[in-house]
Amino acid sequence: MDHSDPSGFDNRFDELAILADRVAYRILGDRQEAEDVTQEVLAKAFVRWRRISSHAEAWVCRVAANQALGVVRRRRTAIRSNEEDVGRPLNAEGPDLAAADRLELVVLLGRLPRRQREVLVLRYLADLSEADVADRLNISRGAVKRHAYRATRALRPQVSERLAFEGEL
Amino acid sequence: MFEHLDHGNEFHPDDGLRRRVVDRARTMRRRRREAILGLTAAPVVLALALVVPVVRDATRVQRITVPGLGTTPAGAGPGSRDGATRILLVGSDAGLLGGDTIGGRNDAVVLVTLRPGERSLALTSIPRDLLVGDGRDVPVGKVSEIGRHLGQLVSAVAEIGGHPVDHVVRVEAAAFPGIADALGGLRLRFDRPMRDRASGFSTDGGCETLNGDRLLAYVRSRHLEVRDPSTGRWVVDPSGDFGRQERQQEVLIAAAQRLRDVDVRALLDLLADRATVDDQLDLSTALDLAREVDGLRSVEREVLQVEEVTTPGGGAALRLTGARPVVQPLAAAGAC
């Protein structure tokens, strides 16, 4: 990679891979699928590096989320086409709570306005700080808080309550 | 907030992942290059559609029987046969395998509609990622994929437009660079300075003749910038993919206008074994069409209304929204 990497992709590979994987895994809950998504996202980033290097973190997180949601949609199509699998939880590996929250998350991401979705992905799936999210999206910290609040209030009440109890909201 | 969703996740980027990423990126770049070549091939296909049959006996251009040509699509109304002649131009990325089955993908597909009497021409770019097919006669798939069978591609395009397709011409991308130079370059008008640092294209504006390399850089441009005349600053061209389609169609028209001036035999030598036409495009038909192109009064583009979808395989694709195509003037013939 180094011989064709004039602009620092190699130096940032680990950092970006971890971000992409975190976002993908939190949506998918499947190690192999998350790694497949990470590989695809990093390859796309490499191809477009000159154009995206200035905002690589935000780009990688956004594309990872979109790619992972695509995998979820593909799963659902497969489930619908095979009646025996109907009812299989989206996350067959993790605990029920995680599976339910993932389902919640996927539904939420699918219906949020663009900016709220970007903030949700960067702030809560990639775990960037408010200041970092504000910097990556070129908006104020107040705007980050506002978008995050609006995005997460659409969560199921029981999830919201639990998150509030944990001091997240 | 969602840390509990990390349960069971242990991820550490390793050299194996790096290698896979690089391999995948190489594949993406190769496919992009192939697509660019295919797209760039489209502009010259119109010219070839009209001259290839004239001297077909002296060339190795392949003529094949393509099912579905001239067939009114199912469900089309009485106006489907409107007297226009429709030619499907296809830029391919692979060699010929024989019959109507052709290897590789269709990276550029443009439907040309010639309207006799009106001396008008309309170009409709069919996006390569558009999902077509009814699942019966034509399997559901992207235009780039189902087009391996020209008959299926013809049926799919007829279905999209609601009109029968009369002829089809297909040219391999590998023939393009030489063809572009054989045309002596193309003269185009640029209304302001433009550049694309990725493809290497730049112009100070005005009328310019582009040779093969610059033409390639112009048509392949995906990150075009234009200079704002009031501030002198470079700004990203907001037209995006639609702008790219329009530029390709503009080049197509310019290529057709060079018909009168080119050495047809030299052009056809470059096409040996790299072009296919349907066997219904005979000499008299070709001459009639060439006369119509020569006297064009107006050129329009029809923009299909599409939306993004995700395929069952997880890939990105497009589908028609059901809205009518938007018709826009493309360029006045001889504008530069």
A154 and A84, same structural domain?
A: no
CA angle B217, B223, B228 (to 5 degrees): 105
Q: Is the pLDDT of residue B95 over 50?
A: no
Distance between CA atoms of residues B74 and B180, nearest Å: 39
Tell me if B198 and A51 make a contact (CB, 8 A cut-off).
yes
Rounded to two decimals, the pTM is: 0.50
Tell me if A26 and B5 make a contact (CB, 8 A cut-off).
yes
Average pLDDT over residues B204-228: 83
Cβ-based burial of B238 (10 A; exposed 0-12, middle 13-18, buried ≥19): exposed
Q: Which residues of B touch A147 (CB under 8 A)?
A: none
Cβ-based burial of A100 (10 A; exposed 0-12, middle 13-18, buried ≥19): middle
Q: Which residues of A touch B313 (CB under 8 A)?
A: 74
Phi/psi for B109 (5° steps) reads -130, 120
Task: Name the average pLDDT for chain B.
Answer: 74
Nearest-Cα residue of chain B relative to residue A99: B5
Phi/psi for B67 (5° steps) reads -65, 150
In a domain, A122, yes or no: yes
Strands B85-92, B167-172: pairing is parallel
Distance between CA atoms of residues B336 and B74, nearest Å: 42
Q: Does the complex come out with an ipTM higher than 0.85?
A: no
Which of B252, B251, B190 shows the shortest CA–CA distance to B226?
B190
Partner residue opposite B310 with nearest CB, options A26, A39, A73? A73
The b-or-e profile of B146-162 (16+ CB within 10 A means b, else e) is: bbbbbbbbbbbbbbbbe
Q: Write out pLDDT tens, residues B253-301.
A: 777 666 556 666 666 666 666 778 888 876 566 666 666 665 566 678 8
Which neighbouring-strand residues pair with B236?
B225
Q: Which residues of B touch A70 (CB under 8 A)?
A: 310, 314-316
DSSP string, B24-89: HHHHHHHHHHHHHHHHHHHHHHHHHHHHTGGGGGGS--EEE--TTTTPPPTT--GGG--S-EEEEE
In a domain, A90, yes or no: yes
A147 and A83, same structural domain?
A: no
Distance between CA atoms of residues B186 and B284, nearest Å: 28
> Nearest CA of chain B to the CA of A65: how many Å?
13
Which of A11, A64, A72 shows the shortest CA–CA distance to A35?
A64
Q: Write out pLDDT tens, residues B114-156.
A: 887 777 778 888 887 888 887 777 778 888 877 567 888 898 8
Q: Which of residues 83-122 of A touch B (CB under 8 A)?
A: 93-95, 97-98, 101-102, 105
**Per-residue pLDDT, B58:** 44
Tell me if A102 and B5 make a contact (CB, 8 A cut-off).
yes
Average pLDDT over residues A32-58: 90
Partner residue opposite B7 with nearest CB, options A40, A74, A94? A94
Cβ-based burial of A152 (10 A; exposed 0-12, middle 13-18, buried ≥19): buried
Are B135 and B110 within 8 A, CB to CB? no
Number of neighbours of residue B236 by Cβ within 10 angstroms: 10
A89 and A9, same structural domain?
A: yes
Residue A119 CA neighbour count, 13 Å, CB half: 23
Residue B125 CA neighbour count, 13 Å, CB half: 27
Distance between CA atoms of residues B59 and B277, nearest Å: 12
Distance between CA atoms of residues A103 and A108, nearest Å: 9
pLDDT band, very low/low/confident/very high, at A156 (cuts 50, 70, 90): low
In a domain, A159, yes or no: yes
Q: Which of residues 300-319 of B touch A (CB under 8 A)?
A: 310, 312-316
Q: Which amino acid is at B254?
A: A
Distance between CA atoms of residues B258 and B46, nearest Å: 11
Q: Is the pLDDT of residue A2 over 60?
A: no
Tell me if A78 and B7 make a contact (CB, 8 A cut-off).
no
**Per-residue pLDDT, A157:** 58
Alpha helices in chain A (DSSP H): 9-28, 31-47, 49-52, 56-80, 96-111, 114-120, 130-137, 141-152, 157-165
In a domain, A61, yes or no: yes
Residue A74: which CATH number?
Answer: 1.10.1740
As a dihedral over the C-alpha atoms of residue B38, residue B43, residue B45, residue B48, rounded to 10 degrees, the angle is: -140
> Nearest CA of chain B to the CA of A84: how many Å?
19
A164 and A137, same structural domain?
A: yes
A135 and A85, same structural domain?
A: no
Q: Write out pLDDT tens, residues A11-38.
A: 899 999 999 999 998 888 888 889 999 9
Average pLDDT over residues B189-199: 87
Tokens 């995206």 -> residue: A52
A19 and A80, same structural domain?
A: yes
Residue A128: which CATH number?
Answer: 1.10.10.10
CA angle B200, B194, B122 (to 5 degrees): 100
In a domain, A132, yes or no: yes
- Show which of A42, A71, A96 is a domain's final residue: A96
More confident call, A5 vs B240: B240
DSSP string, B88-101: EEEEESS-B-STTB
A63 and A8, same structural domain?
A: yes
A87 and A13, same structural domain?
A: yes
Q: Write out pLDDT tens, residues A100-136.
A: 667 767 777 777 788 888 888 888 888 888 999 998 8
Return the minimum-mean-pLDDT range out of A89-103, B24-38, B140-154.
A89-103
The total of structural domains in chain A comes to 2
- Show which of A96, A124, A141 is a domain's final residue: A96
Q: Determine the length of chain B.
A: 336
Are B304 and B204 within 8 A, CB to CB? no
pLDDT band, very low/low/confident/very high, at B32 (cuts 50, 70, 90): low
A133 and A161, same structural domain?
A: yes
A131 and A81, same structural domain?
A: no
Best residue in B3, B6, B11 to probe A by mutation, most A CBs within 10 Å? B11
By residue range, what is the domain housing residue A41?
Answer: 1-96
Q: Which residues of B touch A32 (CB under 8 A)?
A: none
- Show which of A73, A96, A119 is a domain's final residue: A96
Give, as one character, the DSSP assignment of residue B324. P
Tell me if A21 and B1 make a contact (CB, 8 A cut-off).
no
Q: Is the pLDDT of residue B212 over 80?
A: no
A152 and A123, same structural domain?
A: yes
B32 touches chain A (CB under 8 A): yes
A78 and A46, same structural domain?
A: yes
B135 touches chain A (CB under 8 A): no
In a domain, A141, yes or no: yes
Q: Which residues of B touch A161 (CB under 8 A)?
A: none
Strands B167-172, B275-278: pairing is antiparallel
Tell me if B6 and A21 make a contact (CB, 8 A cut-off).
no
Dihedral-angle region of residue A167 (phi above 0 means left; psi in -120 to 50 means alpha; beta otherwise): left
Are B131 and B119 within 8 A, CB to CB? no
Both tokens assigned to B238:
């907001």
Partner residue opposite A18 with nearest CB, options B2, B11, B313? B11
Q: Is the pLDDT of residue B175 over 60?
A: yes
In a domain, A84, yes or no: yes
Nearest-Cα residue of chain A relative to residue B10: A31
In a domain, A103, yes or no: no
B21 touches chain A (CB under 8 A): yes
CA torsion sign, B202 to B204 to B206 to B210? negative
